[in-house]
Copies of this chain bind each other. A is one copy, B any other.
Amino acid sequence: MNSVRICEVGPRDGLQNEKATISAENKIKFIELLAASGVKELEATSFVRPGVIPQLSDAEEVFAAVAHLQSRVNLPVLVPNVKGLQRALDAGVKSVAVFTATSESFTKKNTNATVEESLDRIRAIMQEVDDSVRVRGYISTVVDCPYEGAQKPEKAAEIAKQLLDMGCFEISLGETIGTAVPDDVRRLLEALLQSIPANRLAGHFHDTRGTALANVMAALEMGLRSFDSSAGGMGGCPYAPGAAGNVATEDVVYALHRSGYETGIDLQILCDATAHIEQCVGRPSTSRVYQAMKASASV
């Protein structure tokens, strides 16, 4: 109960929202440094149709170079459909992530499908994988949708149950646009925990309005022990360019360690990973802990 799993999403959710083009070599180094920090779950890249997300069009090249890390780190990759899954499996991927959302408008814009159709795509993916492949499910817009506004917690609960029934080992609840406060998180989790055990749920918070860490702490109090975060807070918000992205891994890890939880992550090595990618993206990390550690080191 005193252990929390961090899923580091910087190389995927982070970098796909950065404007700068990062070379495969620098992505590989980022992933290697993250693995060295003790991260046990590391979203490496995305096998979407080449061209859809130019920042991640080097999925094969990146994964080939880091695949050997899978002996000690789970390296999930995002797959949108069976075609993406096949490419991932061909690359030697042992862990994939599938995605849908509570909002019809968001799903339409994001994947050109209804929510039901996106669940069908996931069902098709599940039929192609055997027990050797772990599948993680993402649900976006669990609190607010950028197009539709407030989402009913019951919708997230219903989709989460379907994804678990299909065989996902865990559902990551995406607070996509970073509007939520702890009360929203509690309302959401109250609905979900009626039918789903806490150990099958993960929190995925964006810090667009500075509330992400408060939301992590609220979800932690409700029993969640799995959180997604991005080293250095890399990645922005596609709905507010220039605003903060995923909650920073350093900030989550600092708060968890100080609160008596262990994550297995070494903050100093994590900061080395951030220092590397910070230079590549060409803008300063938004992580407060990273900034404070850097400032202290330079004093």
Contact = CB atoms under 8 A, between A and B. Distances in A.
Given A242-B298, A243-B292, A259 B181 contact: yes
Nearest to A236: B295
Given A217-B182, A255-B211, A243 B298 contact: no
A94 B232 CA distance: 45
B240 A208 contact: no
Interface stretch (A27-35, A165-173, A283-291): A283-291
B210 A288 contact: yes
A244 interface: yes
Given A259-B181, A259-B183, A292-B243, A210 B287 contact: yes
Contacts of A181: 217, 255, 258-259
B209 A295 contact: no
Name the residue among A210, A213, A214, A288 with the largest chain B CB count within 10 angstroms: A210
Contacts of A210: 213, 248, 251, 254-255, 287-289
A2 interface: no
A54 interface: no
Nearest to A292: B243
A211 to B, nearest CB: 6
Nearest to A256: B181
Given A217-B214, A241-B299, A292 B209 contact: yes
Interface string A261-291: 0000000000000000000000000011101
Interface in A175-226: 178-179, 181-184, 207-211, 213-214, 216-218
Name the residue among A178, A214, A294 with the largest chain B CB count within 10 angstroms: A214
Contacts of A218: 217
Interface in A223-242: 237, 240-242
A260 interface: yes
Contacts of A260: 183
B258 A295 contact: no
A132 interface: no
A13 to B, nearest CB: 17
A296 interface: yes
A210 B290 CA distance: 10
Given A214-B213, A255-B214, A240 B289 contact: no
A295 B213 CA distance: 21
A295 B241 contact: yes
B291 A243 contact: yes
Given A179-B258, A243-B292, A244-B292, 10 more contacts: A183-B258, A209-B255, A209-B289, A211-B251, A217-B218, A240-B299, A241-B299, A242-B291, A243-B288, A243-B295
